[in-house]
């Protein structure tokens, strides 16, 4: 599930950046079993179809030291057989019934989902309950899946200088914190997984009280509850499930990383700051979403309008706030200068735009437009079957309450000009960063080798 899963993850991130939650548009209902399993239902009866997702509150950031990538690798193994099902049988069954299934892993969660005719919800939940506690992977699959993941990493990261630099930037930003470790894991650690590691991981994290089922589609709590109870009621909860995360230490020196590579054709930069996540500071994270929209929400918003349209010194430029995380969020400024201009010059322009905002704030119109765009995006997202389940699962596993998610548009409405200016001052001041200075990465085309000057040796 790696290739697809990573694609899903990227899509998800993009989606969430635009529509982090929805203003009571979901009207989600929920119930819990005594064993701690939480079930959230989003009724949508346009077609007799459901998206059924199960989210586990364990992700790459919960891996033990030295076993990076284990959460994602384990996601793969979940398709490799149980005491009842043969390897691959889970997905073959879903496919035979006309559905599709997949999975994805993030820093804070691992999620499995199926989209299928509502009549077969019983079948997929039965299989999910089975693999939650009865996984049984033949040794040859344990080994071959390692090769699959290694190959994936080779293709997606090792051979991609941008990917490698991206990993380095995150490592430099998230010192002493697992967010600095890539979700897919480090090459040599993937190679070293032992079956015992996998078993320990499964035994520790996979349990009804560490999972949330989110079902979106032609269902109600009334129709779902008996099916869930039938399959999951018998599963025992586990004790001592707790997610201990370290803090990122403060730092004072600015970090820059430069990569020249033959595969790069245009110089570009990205500059990332640590910012609060929704879970760390809801109010500020909401204001940062509005700020992001004002600066970079389309061709008429500040950065693009000023630097691409008017000044014409960039071919692309923007800011992205990523706040849906159990621990820290990030703010990233990025841009590609016009031909002949150095990225450093464009960064200065971007900083000046932001200094302007810090100093003078935003206009009433900018605020109103940004808020409306964000709220509209929530309404659009509601239209899909899987979007709402994605948003709710993502939010719940990163510390949001269902109320927070449902009331997001209301909370966005409440953001003021002062809130926006205040978070720009708090989190986007390069001279006084919140936690540690930005980590800035530059990509350049490989320069032609200059002849090396070598001095004559002296005796």
Annotated active-site residue 342? The verdict is no
Q: How many other C-beta atoms can be found within 10 angstroms of the C-beta atom of residue 382?
A: 19
Q: What are phi and psi of 216, to 5 degrees?
A: -120, 130
Comparing CB distances to a copy of itself, the nearer of 36 and 163 is: 163
Give the residue, chosen from 17, 97, 148, 175, that forms a contact with a copy of itself under the rule CB under 8 A: 175
Interactions with a copy of itself, residue window 187-206 (CB under 8 A): 187-189
Q: Is 138 in the site for a copy of itself (CB under 8 A)?
A: no
CB 105 within 8 A of CB 60: yes
The sign of the dihedral angle between the CA atoms of 250, 253, 254, 256 is: negative
The window from 60-68, 76-84, 106-114, 138-146 that contacts a copy of itself (CB under 8 A) reads 60-68
Q: Which residue in 63, 75, 145, 406 is the catalytic one?
A: 75
Give me Rg for the CA atoms of the chain. Answer: 24
CA distance 428 to 438: 9
Q: Which is nearer to a copy of itself, 130 or 189 (CB)?
A: 189
Tokens standing for 95? Answer: 């496919």
Instruction: Give the three-class secondary structure for 317.
Output: strand
Q: How far is CA 436 from CA 76, 147, 271, 364, 431, in A?
A: 36, 38, 12, 32, 10
For residues 212 and 414, what is the distance between their CA atoms, to the nearest angstrom? 30
Q: Is 355 in the site for a copy of itself (CB under 8 A)?
A: yes
Q: Which is nearer to a copy of itself, 4 or 311 (CB)?
A: 311
Site string for a copy of itself, 252-291 (x = CB under 8 A): xxxxxxxx-x------------------------------
Confirm if 75 and 135 have CB atoms less than 8 A apart: no
Chain positions 153 to 172 lying near a copy of itself, rule: CB under 8 A, are 161, 164-165, 167-168, 171-172
Closest to 104 (Cα-Cα) out of 404, 320, 389: 389
Does position 403 interact with a copy of itself (CB under 8 A)? The reply is: no
Under the criterion CB under 8 A, does residue 447 sit at the interface with a copy of itself?
A: no
Cβ 352 to a copy of itself, closest distance in Å?
6
Binding residues for a copy of itself (CB under 8 A): 64-66, 68, 161, 164-165, 167-168, 171-172, 175-176, 180-181, 186-189, 244-247, 249-259, 261, 352-353, 355-356, 359-360, 363, 365, 441, 452-455, 457, 459
Residues assigned a catalytic role: 75
């Amino acid at each position: 599930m790696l290739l697809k899963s990573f694609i899903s993850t990227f899509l998800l991130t993009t989606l969430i950046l635009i529509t982090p939650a929805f203003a009571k548009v979901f009207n989600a209902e929920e119930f819990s079993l005594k064993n701690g399993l939480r079930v959230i239902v989003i009724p949508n009866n346009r077609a007799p179809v459901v998206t059924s997702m199960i989210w586990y509150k364990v992700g790459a950031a919960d891996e033990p030291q030295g076993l990076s990538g284990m959460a994602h690798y384990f996601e793969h193994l979940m398709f490799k057989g149980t005491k009842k099902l043969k390897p691959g049988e889970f997905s073959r069954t879903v496919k035979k019934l006309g559905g599709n299934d997949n999975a994805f892993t993030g820093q804070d969660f691992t999620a499995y989902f199926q989209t299928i005719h509502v009549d077969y919800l019983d079948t997929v939940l039965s299989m999910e309950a089975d693999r939650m506690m009865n996984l049984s992977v033949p040794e040859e699959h344990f080994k071959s899946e390692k090769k699959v993941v290694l190959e994936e990493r080779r293709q997606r990261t090792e051979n991609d200088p941008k990917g490698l630099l991206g990993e380095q930037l995150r490592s430099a930003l998230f010192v002493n914190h697992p967010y600095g470790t890539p979700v897919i894991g480090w090459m040599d650690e993937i190679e070293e997984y032992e079956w015992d590691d996998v078993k320990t991981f499964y035994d520790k994290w996979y349990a009804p009280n560490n999972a949330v089922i989110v079902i979106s589609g032609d269902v109600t709590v009334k129709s779902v509850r008996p099916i869930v109870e039938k399959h999951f009621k018998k599963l025992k909860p586990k004790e001592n499930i707790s997610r201990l995360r370290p803090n990122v230490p403060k730092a004072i020196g600015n970090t820059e990383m430069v990569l020249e590579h033959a595969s790069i054709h245009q110089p570009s930069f990205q500059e990332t700051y640590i910012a609060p996540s929704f879970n760390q500071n809801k109010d500020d994270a909401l204001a940062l979403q509005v700020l992001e929209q004002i600066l970079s929400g389309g061709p008429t918003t500040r950065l693009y309008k000023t630097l691409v349209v008017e000044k014409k010194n960039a071919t692309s430029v923007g800011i992205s706030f990523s706040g849906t995380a159990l621990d820290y969020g990030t703010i990233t400024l990025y841009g590609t200068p016009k031909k002949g201009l150095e990225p450093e010059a464009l960064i200065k322009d971007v900083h000046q735009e932001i200094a302007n905002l810090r100093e003078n704030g935003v206009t009433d119109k900018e605020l109103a437009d940004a808020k409306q765009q964000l709220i509209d995006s929530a309404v659009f997202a509601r239209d899909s079957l899987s979007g709402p389940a994605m948003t709710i699962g993502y939010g719940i596993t990163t510390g949001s309450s269902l109320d927070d998610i449902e009331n997001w548009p209301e909370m966005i409405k409440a953001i003021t000009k002062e809130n926006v200016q205040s978070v720009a001052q708090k989190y986007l001041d390069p001279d006084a960063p919140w936690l540690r200075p930005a980590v800035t990465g530059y990509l350049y085309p490989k320069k032609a080798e200059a002849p090396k000057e070598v001095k004559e040796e002296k005796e």
